[in-house]
Structure 1
Amino acid sequence: MRLFEGILIVVHIFWLFSLFRFDAKIKRIINVIALILLVVHLGFEGYRWQMGLTYILFILLTAFTIKPFNEEKVTLVSANNKRKVKKLLYIFFILIYMFSSLGLVTIMPVFQLPKPTGPFEVGMNSRHLIDDSRHDSKQKARELMIQIWYPAELENNSKDIQYESFPYEEWSGTLEFIFSVPRCLFEYLKYGQTNSIKDIAVSNKEDKYPVLLFSHGFGSTRMQSISQMEELASHGYIVVSVDHTNDAAYTKFPDGQEVMSQADAYSYSYNIEDEKDVKTRSKDMSYVLNQLTMLNGKDPQSLFTGKIDMDKIGIFGHSYGGSTAAQALLDDSRISAGINIDGPLHEPVASSGFEQPFMFILNEDYLYLSDEEIQYTNITPEEFQKYHDKITDLADFHYKEGIKGDTFMLTFIAGDHYTFTDFPYLSPLLSWNIDVNQFHQVMNGYILAFFDHYVKDKALDPLLRKEEKEDKFYYFKTNMKHH
C-alpha cells in the first residue's frame, strides 16, 4: 500500500463516522482534506482500479457534505427506521468499505523489488533480434526479444537517476495468458519499481564481464525474474534473458507487434521424450550467443563493444527454462556451466547427460501436481504419477553419475514452483507462508557461488564445499567429481 493511498482510505473511514457525529463545519474540513489528499495521490502516485471504491465514495460523501445530510428524512431500513438497526447497518457499511479498500490495495500492492547486494549499479537494455536462418510455422524469420542486465557505473554528479518501472506490459500479457482475465486488471503494475537504469554506460571497473544466459518457464516471460537478474548483474555479470517467441506467453516487439502464445496455459507436454520445443529454445540460446559475439565486436548502440567476455559463459533457467539450460549445455560447447531451477530433464539430455558442471535447484515437491490441478491438464493422475516418478529418478541419477561434471543439488522445503520467480512480489497471497526475500537470498547466494567458480574461475566458495547442509527451509548436497 502506498503512503497517500493508506492516508486517503483512513480519512474516508473517519469521514464516514463523521456523518452523524459532527456538525457541517467539521464535515467540510474533512472534505477539503480528502480533496487535497486525492489530488496529491493522483498526481504523485497515479490512479489504479483497486482504489475505485475510495474514488466513488469521495464523490458521494462530497455530495452529502455540500447538501447537509438530513437524518430525519432518510429511511435506511423500513418505515419504522429503528435506531439500533440503522446503526448496525451503518457500521456494517463502514466495515465493508474498510476491508474492501484495505484488502484490495494490500493483496494487489504496488511494490519495489529488493535492492541488489552487489557493488555495481545495474543497467538494462533491450534488443530485437531476427534470425533469418530459421523460420516459424508461418515461414517468417524467427524474431526474438532479449533483455540485458549489466554492471553499470554512475558519474559523480549523477543525482537524479531514474530507475525503470516494472515491465507491466510483459507481465500483464503473461498473467492474461495464465489466468484468462483481461490484462487491464494488471495495469497498476506499471507503478512498481525496479533497480535498473535504462541504457546507462557499462562500468569500467573491469575490462569485460562474463555472460549468463537465462531461459524463462513455459508460457512465461523474459521479465519473470528481474530481481534475480539485477542481483547477478550487480555482482559483475552481463545477464541476458531471452523471450522464446510463441512459447513465451506474450512478446511485444519495437514496431508494436504483439505475439501471444497460442498454446493453452495448461497444455505443457508431460513427456520427457518430447524434445522438439526444448531444442528450438536451445537454438535460440546459441543464436543469442552469436549475436553477443557480434555486439562485443561492434555494438551499434556503443554499449557493449569490447565489454563482453565470450570465453566465460554460463546458463540457467526456470522450469522449462531449466530444461533448456541442460539442453544448451549438451548442444553448445561455448557454455561452461549451467543451473536448472525446478525444471525436468528432457531427451536427449535425459539419456546422455553432458560434461559441464551443473546445479539442480528444486522444490521438495519437484513439479508435483495435486489431483485438482491435474484435471486442468491433458493427462490422467496415473500418467502424471508415472511422469513425476521418471523426472525425479532422472534428477537423482544425473546428480549422482549421469552428469560428468561436478554436480550440486539445492532443495527448498518451503515455497512452491513460482517462489523461484518474481511472482510472490505481486501479492502477499502468493507468499503468505514464506519470507520471499530470505528465500531469494539463499537461492541467489548459491547461484553466485556456483557461477563465480565455474564461469569466473574464482576459488571454490566454502558454501559449495559442504557435502551436506540443512536449514529450516532448504537442504544442500554436493557431488564433487573433479576436486
Structure 2
Amino acid sequence: MWRRTPGAEYGRVTEIITGLNMSPLEILVLLGAVALVVARWLPPAARPRVTTAAGAVLVLSAIVLGVAGMRWQMLPVLAGAAFALPFAFAPLLRRRSGRSAWRARWWLALPGSVACAGLIATGPVAAWAFPVPEFPEPSGDFAVGTRVVQWTDPRRPETFTADPDDRRTVVVQLWYPAPKSPAGTQRAQYLGRTEHEARTVSDALAREVGLPGFLVDGVPRARTRSVLDAPVDSKGGRFPVVLFSPGSGGVRTQNTAWAEELASHGYVVAALDHPYDSAAVVLADGRTINTETASSGDPDKDEELAAGWTAVRAADLSFVLTQLDDLDRGGTADPLSGRLDTSRAAVTGHSMGGAAALQAARQDHRFDAVIDLDGYPHGPASPSLDRPTLALTQAVTAATDPRYMPRLTEALKAGTTTSYRLTIPGAAHLTFMDGPLYLPPVPSIVGSLGRTESPRVVAAATLAFLDAVLRGEPGDLAGVLPAYGNLTVYQPDNSR
C-alpha cells in the first residue's frame, strides 16, 4: 500500500513541514492520533468532543493519505491510534446505549497510553531520519532545465559482456541554464525520468548498501529544482561544461543538488551512468542493467579490478566530451547546439568517479580542470597531472584507508600546475553527494554539517574553483578556498 505513489497526487500533498519532514496530511494524522491518546486524560465534559473530532480528523486524513500514497513512517502512528481507538470510543458508545460508562483506572490506563504514545512518536522520528529529500533552491541567476540522453560508442566494445558486437553505451543526464518556468510547472523527478525508473534505481541503491528498500522509499518520491526538457536560456551565451562520474555503484543523479547549483550559475553539467558499474541503468528501450562490479575480498586483486573499472569510466568521460562537442557543432539537432563551450571543460567525480576524473585528465588534454570529490586514486600515477586540480576530502580518521592520503598527495605534488586539497571539517564520504538530504543525520554516515549546509559548502567550493579556472574570474584561490575548509596548496616543482 505505502509503496504505491501516484506522483502528481503525492506532489500536491508533500510540502514538507520544516524540521519534521512531514506533509500537512501526515501532520493531521499525527495530531489526530495524539489527540485520541490525550482524550482519556481530559476532564469528563471535554472528552466526547475531543474524541469525536480527533477520530474524524484521523480517519479522513488517513483515507486521503492512503489514496495519495502513504509512507511507511506513518504505519506506527496508525498502529498507535488503532490501539487507542477502542479505549477512546468505548465509553462514548456505552453512554449512547444507555449503559453506564466504564473507564479503566488510571494506573491501568497509563501503561497503555504510554505504549500508544511511544508508537505514535516513532512516526515523526522515522520521518526525520528517512525523509522525502527536499532539494535546496539554486542560488544562481538561471533557472535549471534537465534532460537525459543515451549515446553508444561504435569504436569501443562492451568489456562487461561476451557479445563481440556489443558496443559501449552510456546514459547521460544534462543540467543546463534555463529561463524561469511558469508558476506551478512540475519539477523533474529525482533518480529517473519516470516514477518507475526512480523506484528501480532506488531499490538497486538500497541493495547496494544492504538496506531494506522500504527505508528509503521516500527518495524516489522527491522532486528536484529543475524542469524536465525545459528550453535553454537564450541570453547566457556559451556555457562551460562540467562532466561528472558517480561513485562505485553510484548513479548519474547522485549529485543532483550540486549539479543544479552549478547549472544555475551558468554551467552545463553532464553526469554519467556507467552500465554494469552503476547500481542500475535504465536504457531507452526499457532494459535495466544492474551492477556487475564487486569486491573480491583480496586488497591487491581489488586494486587491480578498481584500476580496470576506473579506466573504463575515464574512457566514458572522454567519449561524452566528444559527443558534447559534436552536439555543440550541430552534428545532431539539439537545443544546446552552439551553446556549449567545450573549450572550457572540467572533469569531476565522487569516490571512484573522482579517480576516473584524475585518469581522464591525464589521458585527455581537452579537460581544463579536475575536481576529485573524496576519491581514492586508482590506476597509473603517470603521466603527471598537468591541469589545475581540486581535491575535496573528509578529515582523516582511524577508519580512513591509510593508503588514501599518501596516494592523493603524491598525485597532487607530482602535478605540473598548482593544485589544491581542501579538507572540509565535519564532512564524511557521503557529504559530497545528495546523501545528507535523505539519510539519517549520523555524523559517521553523512557528516555533521547538516542537510542544508552539506550541499551548500561542497557546491560553493566547487564554484569558486571553476569560476577561477574556467572563467578566469579574478581572485586568489588560496585566499578564497579556506572559507570552506582546511586548504593545502601544491605548487609545481619547476626544477623537474
Q: TM-score range by the shorter chain?
A: 0.7 to 0.9
Tell me, in whole angstroms, the C-alpha distance in 2 between the residues paired with 1:432 and 1:63. 44
Using a 3 Å threshold, how does the CA distance of structure 1 residues 436 and 405 change in structure 2: closer, same or farther? farther
Displacement, 1:120?
0.5
Partner of 1:328: 360
Partner of 1:6: 27
Partner of 1:399: 412
Displacement, 1:226?
0.6
2:188 to 160, 164, 172: 164
Partner of 2:138: 116
In the alignment, does 2:420 pair up with 1:412?
Answer: no
Q: Secondary structure at the match of 1:241?
A: strand
Tell me, in whole angstroms, the C-alpha distance in 2 between the residues paired with 1:222 and 1:35. 41
Aligned 8 A contact 2:80 2:116 in 1: no
1:15 to 31, 36, 61: 36
Q: Secondary structure at the match of 2:218?
A: helix
Counterpart AA for 2:51: K
Q: Secondary structure at the match of 1:448?
A: helix
Displacement, 1:263?
3.3
In the alignment, does 2:479 pair up with 1:461?
Answer: no
Tell me, in whole angstroms, the C-alpha distance in 1 between the residues paired with 2:463 and 2:363. 24
Using a 3 Å threshold, how does the CA distance of structure 1 residues 451 and 255 change in structure 2: closer, same or farther? same
How big is each residue's C-alpha offset from its partner over 1:260-306, in whole Å with a ceiling of 9 and x where there is no partner? 11334786966655521111111111111122123223376632121
Displacement, 1:184?
4.5
Partner of 1:385: none
1:180 to 207, 210, 226: 210
Displacement, 1:163?
1.2
Displacement, 1:404?
0.6
Aligned 8 A contact 1:210 1:309 in 2: yes
Using a 3 Å threshold, how does the CA distance of structure 1 residues 355 and 170 change in structure 2: closer, same or farther? farther
Q: Secondary structure at the match of 2:452?
A: helix
1:246 to 276, 286, 298: 276
Displacement, 1:88?
3.0
| TM-score, normalisation: structure 1 | 0.83
In the alignment, does 2:343 pair up with 1:311?
Answer: yes
In the alignment, does 2:38 pair up with 1:38?
Answer: no
Tell me, in whole angstroms, the C-alpha distance in 1 between the residues paired with 2:474 and 2:310. 31
Partner of 1:448: 463
Tell me, in whole angstroms, the C-alpha distance in 2 between the residues paired with 1:333 and 1:432. 35
Using a 3 Å threshold, how does the CA distance of structure 1 residues 12 and 465 change in structure 2: closer, same or farther? same
Displacement, 1:185?
4.3
| TM-score, normalisation: structure 2 | 0.81
Counterpart AA for 1:356: R
In the alignment, does 2:156 pair up with 1:144?
Answer: no
Tell me, in whole angstroms, the C-alpha distance in 2 between the residues paired with 1:267 and 1:176. 21
> What does residue range 308-387 of structure 1 map to in structure 2 within 5 Å?
308-348=340-380, 350-365=381-396, 369=399
Q: Secondary structure at the match of 2:244?
A: strand
Gaps of 5+ in 1: 73-80, 371-387
Counterpart AA for 1:352: P
Aligned 8 A contact 1:449 1:461 in 2: no
Q: Secondary structure at the match of 1:352?
A: coil
Partner of 1:383: none
In the alignment, does 2:251 pair up with 1:215?
Answer: no
Counterpart AA for 1:393: P
Deviates more, 1:445-454 or 1:275-284: 445-454
Tell me, in whole angstroms, the C-alpha distance in 1 between the residues paired with 2:466 and 2:331. 26
Displacement, 1:192?
2.0
How big is each residue's C-alpha offset from its partner over 1:398-432, in whole Å with a ceiling of 9 and x where there is no partner? 333x0111211101231211111111111343457
Using a 3 Å threshold, how does the CA distance of structure 1 residues 19 and 314 change in structure 2: closer, same or farther? same
Aligned 8 A contact 2:358 2:370 in 1: yes
1:297 to 302, 314, 329: 329
Partner of 1:424: 436
Aligned 8 A contact 2:139 2:264 in 1: yes
Partner of 1:89: 111
Deviates more, 1:165-174 or 1:263-272: 263-272
Aligned 8 A contact 1:466 1:477 in 2: no
Aligned 8 A contact 2:244 2:271 in 1: yes
Aligned 8 A contact 2:36 2:54 in 1: yes
Using a 3 Å threshold, how does the CA distance of structure 1 residues 117 and 419 change in structure 2: closer, same or farther? same
Tell me, in whole angstroms, the C-alpha distance in 1 between the residues paired with 2:57 and 2:104. 33
1:102 to 117, 121, 124: 124
Q: Secondary structure at the match of 1:459?
A: coil
Using a 3 Å threshold, how does the CA distance of structure 1 residues 152 and 33 change in structure 2: closer, same or farther? same
Using a 3 Å threshold, how does the CA distance of structure 1 residues 351 and 297 change in structure 2: closer, same or farther? closer
Using a 3 Å threshold, how does the CA distance of structure 1 residues 28 and 95 change in structure 2: closer, same or farther? closer
Aligned 8 A contact 1:467 1:477 in 2: no
Tell me, in whole angstroms, the C-alpha distance in 2 between the residues paired with 1:266 and 1:166. 32
Counterpart AA for 2:119: Y
1:232 to 262, 268, 283: 262
Query: How many aligned positions are there?
Result: 448
Tell me, in whole angstroms, the C-alpha distance in 2 between the residues paired with 1:183 and 1:341. 27
Displacement, 1:235?
0.6
Tell me, in whole angstroms, the C-alpha distance in 2 between the residues paired with 1:64 and 1:128. 59
Tell me, in whole angstroms, the C-alpha distance in 2 between the residues paired with 1:209 and 1:181. 39
